[in-house]
Amino acid sequence: MKKTVLTMLSFADPDLRKQIEAMPEGTALIGISTTGQAIDVDLNGESPHVLVCTASGGGSTTMLRSLTAQFLHQGAHALDPKRISHLWAKGLPTVTHRGNIAGIHDALVHLATELERRLDLGGDLDTVPRLIVAVDEANTMLGRLARYWETFRQKDDPKTSPAIAALEEALWVGRAARVHVIFDGRPQSTVLAGAARELFATVILARFTADTWQVLAPAAGPAPKQRHPQQGHFHVIQHGEANETQAIRMTDADVVTWLTDPDDPTA
């Protein structure tokens, strides 16, 4: 199949925006592949959670912003435990933004309570908004959460941080509770149960090493050559297949305008 050259995709393109706004609820457009195929993630299907893993500067923050914004536009709520990169989310009424480790800890502990509440509804979730847990720079955050827990853990308290345990629980039972994790990082068995990585049915990689590919996308074969150095170029792995994909670029201003004034054609 003939491949096309990947070019930057801007949300400012009215045709692309129209395509995004036509996506079904629970589905977000990741980007366009080298074969011209629209690559998306469907939270209602086999992809309850999304794993994004890139080297520094690989575009993971932009990816999290794009996917989270699309789900927010569809009526979802979001938990955003990030101090700096996602300041666009601070003023949005359907986003819980936490900018320090104590606040992140408390928000994730509350997530465990919310998971339990939703599971107690016995599947009657038609009126419950989807909840997106967008975890940027997850490895750094998880390490800080573990150290924070050690500062006040009592003798009879569990060794694992309850905040980290809540995130693990969201990965295991999130589908049933309409809770979905977008995780930026490489899950480490020391702070996140190794088996949890198997629950990411969509894996999005950029600027990866052969080792990272082998760990996170072994079913997709050997690591491919990375021929497109421009930002926003990813390999999206789903169902054991990898698609070279140019992701959508949404700026902070794009997202805020779109979510606060969706009828504004300049969003």
Instruction: Give the pLDDT band of residue 87 (cuts 50, 70, 90).
Output: low
Residues 6 or more apart whose Cβ sits within 8 Å of residue 193: 168
- Residue 64: its pLDDT value, please? 92
- Residue 194: its pLDDT value, please? 62
Residue 67 has pLDDT above 60, yes or no: yes
Tell me the range of 81-90, 186-195, 238-247 where mean pLDDT is highest.
238-247
Backbone torsions φ then ψ of 220, nearest 5 degrees:
-90, 5
Q: How crowded is residue 241: how many other Cβ atoms within 10 Å of its Cβ?
A: 11
Separation between Cα atoms, residue 143 and residue 123, nearest integer Å = 34
- Residue 116: its pLDDT value, please? 96
Tokens (6 digits) for 192? 């996140």
CB 141 within 8 A of CB 104: yes
Task: Render pLDDT for 173-219 as a digit per residue (tens, 0 to 9).
Answer: 999 999 999 999 887 766 666 656 678 889 999 999 999 999 889 98
- pTM above threshold 0.95: no
Separation between Cα atoms, residue 166 and residue 61, nearest integer Å = 23
Task: Render pLDDT for 135-178 as a digit per residue (tens, 0 to 9).
Answer: 988 888 999 999 999 999 999 999 999 999 999 999 999 999 99
Residue 257 has pLDDT above 70, yes or no: yes
Residue 129 has pLDDT above 80, yes or no: yes
CA end-to-end distance (rounded Å), the chain: 35
Mean pLDDT along residues 90-100: 82
Instruction: Give the pLDDT band of residue 229 (cuts 50, 70, 90).
Output: low
Separation between Cα atoms, residue 82 and residue 13, nearest integer Å = 28
Task: Render pLDDT for 28-58 as a digit per residue (tens, 0 to 9).
Answer: 999 999 999 999 999 987 778 999 999 877 8
Residues 6 or more apart whose Cβ sits within 8 Å of residue 245: 6, 30, 31, 32, 33, 34, 39, 233, 234, 235, 236
Mean pLDDT of the chain: 87
Task: Give the torsion sign (CA, 218, 220, 224, 226).
Answer: negative
Quick one: what percent of the chain has pLDDT higher than 70? Answer: 88
Mean pLDDT along residues 94-108: 89
